[in-house]
Structure 1
Amino acid sequence: MLQKVAVIALDDVAMFELGVVCELFGYERDGLPKYEYSLCTPGGAPVRTHAGFTIVPDHDLAPVDDADLVVVVPYNSHEAPPDEVLQALRRANERGSWVMSVCTGAFALGYAGLLDDKRCTTHWLHTEELAERFPAAKVDADVLYVQDENILTSAGTAASVDAGLHLIRQEHGSAVANTLARRMVVPPHREGGQAQFIETPMPVVECDTLQPVLARVLETLDDPHTVDTMAEMAHMAPRTFARKFRSETGATPHDWLTGQRLLLARRLLEDSDLGVDTIASRAGFGSAATLRHHFAHRMRTTPQAYRGTFRSQPV
């Protein structure tokens, strides 16, 4: 049973995520589980925040050694923490405690070796760097949070709420997690597999020989483009075109075309009053069912839910 929670804060700690972890585990609410909550730093030293002030903790790293849950909150340097932090994380993992990172706190877990051969995530801005620094980790750039055995990693900012509620749901059941979510005035449950909504503008196409073709396709996404029709524009055989396309863009023609159509559909869902059928047609998907299929596969949500989240004004 989850009783003792130790949170490790490092220099340049991010305040929002630290506040979320405190709200989840360090704030006593009538009728809900109470935790022995400790904010810890190496040597119990004050740590700077990214907001320009300093936090003075109550503890050094000693509470980490008997905690049921150890959380590393984000820090901005992404460099290796002090060795005493890495050793404490390894001991927690070895005794089977939960080890959780929020946003860039995943880098500390990586330096401790806890992400080797584990599925994990962090904020989408930093997933490539995480994968480069820790090639043995299985970094998933899309998801809100990932649990692999006793290791729980979450994406940035609000995803820390979802990861924490996921853990509480496992430890105490859905009724407790849902009650806590209502107290915090947040959605009671978002699946970890839901996509991070990565900010991706409509692209500027830059490649050696295919740029005119790609630019033309982007201007006419509602046309029934295929590999054959795009190859014809480039005056190439389809197989030659496909090889050249991958060498210049890093993607297959089909994957690239689907991605550009989804980008246009997302923009129209956010910025227009058009119905889903019309958006599907304008983006080249042909039908709302096809658009929903690709949204579910790549965005892990529905067009209607995406619009509800990101529409600036009511439709």
Structure 2
Amino acid sequence: MPVSPELLKQLLRKQKDKTITDREMVLLRLYLSTPEAEEQLAGIDFSDMPDAAGQPATPQEVRFQQIMQSIPRKPVRKTAWHRLAGAAAAALVVAGVGLMLRQDRKPPSPTPMLTLQTGNGELKEILLPDHSRIFLNARSAIRYPASFSGGTRTVQLLQGQAYFDVAKQETPFIVESSEGMQTIVLGTTFTVMTDSVAGHLQVAVKTGKVRVDRQQKAIATLLPGDGVFYDIANARTRTMHTDPGNIGEWTGGEVRLSGASFAEMAGLMQQLYGITVIAGGAAVRHNQYNLPVKYGTDPQPLIEVICMVNGNRAEWQKDSTEVIIR
């Protein structure tokens, strides 16, 4: 099978310039030993290929002889075996050219990464390629691959909170978050909350078993009902325990404040609506709150109800993203 004139001229030019590789030289010699090489070479225009000495191009027949003589080859007896060898050599040339072309192809593209984020009071459910489910809480963002490959299933919680219902597989499932934090599981349900601004991570386990690492060093191993709060900046760990049934309850679109402190209530308003709630006095900081908060509720009437629980009043600032409770 003939080689394209362009490829043949490229190989001959590289041989003349002494830039040809060993593999390319083998291919060129193999091709020139085939019966059809002479016929194909006779039809190729070598006028743009002056000889190595810089002389003008010679007539085609003479130039062909010069090219043939410049390729060192062992003499071959023209027998039936020679014809078979020529055919085999042609096949090797074609295979070698195919290999060269395959090596020139671009490597496969990396798996596309998808990013999803939620707004004020918004919940989203994500079904991953392995059939794991993620519930993304309000004002949160996550990054995950369009398909899993390799030895792990890895997603990145960029900000906020997410509830994970992980499909059980032998491949570990890893949630990466800020400052080299990793939450590693095989098949379980749990929540992860990360705050890249405040620099802390919180994990709570509903079912199964979870390990929390930072920079490949274990911080805590958690069982159902266990939780951990990790202060990244100060490398401090605080463990806690709660009713597993309450973990991830917000995935139903409602959070129940039960004996919640002012700081917990203010944190919820920040998470759901991006509203900064400020205590207008020391007494307000000691308030406790017991009421349900539904997602999608208008925040201003909700703050008014929260104030009524303890007989306070709300002072909204001009931009309506900050309120002082007195």
TM-score, normalisation: structure 2: 0.25
Which of the pair is proportionally richer in strand? 2
TM-score, normalisation: structure 1: 0.25
Which of the pair is proportionally richer in helix? 1
Query: Which has the bigger relative contact order, CA under 8 A and spacing at least 6?
Result: 1
